[in-house]
Amino acid sequence: MFVSPLTPKSILVLLCSIMFTALILPVRLLAASDVVIMKNGDRITGDVKKLNNGDLEIDPPYSGTNFILEWKQVERIESKATFIAQTSAGDYVTGSVRTDPEDSNQVFVEGETEVLPVEHSELVYLKPVDEGFWGRLSASIDFGLSLTKADGTRQMNTRGTVGYLTEDWSTSVQVDALRNVRDDADTTKRSEVAGDYRYYFAGNWFALGTASFLQSNELQLDLRSTVGGGVGNYLVRNNRWLFSAQGGAGWTNENYIDADPTAADRTSGEGFAGVELNVFDIGSVDILSSFTVIPSFTESGRFRMDFRTDFQWELIKNLFFRVGFTDNYDNSPVGDAPSNDWVFSTSVGWSK
């Protein structure tokens, strides 16, 4: 066995490493002022990054990756940092967070002028206020590909989402694109961009602004542009699932491709009513489903329906596998276009 001799250079490197560890590690440990105690007695020190969808994320100074803890398994939490906190009743308060020393089911959010007592199970969201722009940003991207040798079919689908959340409002944008290429047929294209803005009020109410843009060869749509606004309410909001309902009105403009010559482009005043369900307490699986009915005010008897559901499995940290289904229905399509345009997709992606 050969052992390298200790040269002056190697000794200097070793001393510098020891000094770096001795100086930097205590600084990180001191900076990590948050303490989380689990129901099994484990004590974790670090920086709490967020509580959302029933999971508490903490950054310990002795690990290169953040820990994801089930909130229902947390016994106590203590932090002097300032957080944006939200309860299941829709109340927002900014302040530090600590568990009642005499009752682990009671959490206090201590602001400058008020102390809000919250049941442990009713605290649904925490985010440090000093996280800045990037800390409030969420994003994901995924990609799927399927190949069929028999007819030379190649189907590619991709999705990207970006969201931003503050104590008063949130906004999000989602982009979906699908290309279906066959050797013996025309390429099928479907692209959609959808965004919304929500301003939150007490009692889980929110004002809603929406915009969407859909292009679909199947529906002979060169572009369907829709803008609208309304109100909504989180009927159920806890650490296991969210269920919301919303309604309002909007305006749609539709431009067609290869349409029947007698069918001109259309504009329509419309209403909308929908529900959204997000379940995130099923192991490593998240489920997100939405259903919206869109009756026309200006075209008698016409209505559309949009349905979407996604099952998302967490593979490893930030990496997921998704199975999705989307259906757009129109009871009065243009020309010989079908009433439905549905897409089934699978993909692998990354989220922040």
In a domain, 6, yes or no: no
pLDDT at 263 over 70: no
State which of 110-119, 135-144, 146-155, 246-255 shows the largest mean pLDDT. Answer: 246-255
- Taking a C-beta distance cutoff of 8 angstroms, is the pair 96, 80 a contact? yes
Please report the pLDDT score of residue 19 as a whole number: 43
Q: In which domain, by residue range, is 50 found?
A: 25-134
Please report the pLDDT score of residue 138 as a whole number: 86
Please give the DSSP secondary-structure letter assigned to residue 53: T
pLDDT digits (tens, 9 = 90+) for 5-27: 445 555 445 445 534 443 444 44
Which region among 88-97, 119-128, 325-334 has the lowest average model confidence (pLDDT)? 88-97
Question: How do strand 153-165 and strand 74-87 relate by DSSP bridges?
Answer: unpaired
Same domain, 265 and 295: yes
Please report the pLDDT score of residue 296 as a whole number: 96
Please report the pLDDT score of residue 213 as a whole number: 95
pLDDT digits (tens, 9 = 90+) for 188-246: 889 999 999 999 988 899 999 999 999 998 888 889 999 999 999 999 988 889 999 99
Q: How many CB atoms lie within 10 A of CB 244?
A: 20
Same domain, 165 and 114: no
In a domain, 245, yes or no: yes
Mean pLDDT calculated for residue range 277-306: 92
In whole angstroms, give the CA distance from residue 104 to residue 235.
Answer: 27
Same domain, 118 and 203: no
User: Which amino acid type is present at position 241?
Assistant: W
Q: How many CB atoms lie within 10 A of CB 12?
A: 10
pLDDT at 61 over 80: yes
Same domain, 50 and 109: yes
Same domain, 160 and 277: yes
Same domain, 236 and 108: no
Mean pLDDT calculated for residue range 339-352: 89
Number of domains in the chain: 2
Question: What angle is formed at CA 139 by the lines to CA 135 and CA 140, rounded to 5 degrees?
Answer: 145
- Taking a C-beta distance cutoff of 8 angstroms, is the pair 330, 254 a contact? no
> In a 3-state reduction of DSSP, which class is residue 299?
coil
Same domain, 224 and 321: yes
Strand ranges (E), 60-152: 67-70, 74-87, 92-100, 103-110, 115-119, 123-128, 137-148
In a domain, 55, yes or no: yes
- Taking a C-beta distance cutoff of 8 angstroms, is the pair 197, 208 a contact? yes
Q: What is the pTM of this model?
A: 0.78
The CATH number assigned to the domain holding 335 equals 2.40.160.40
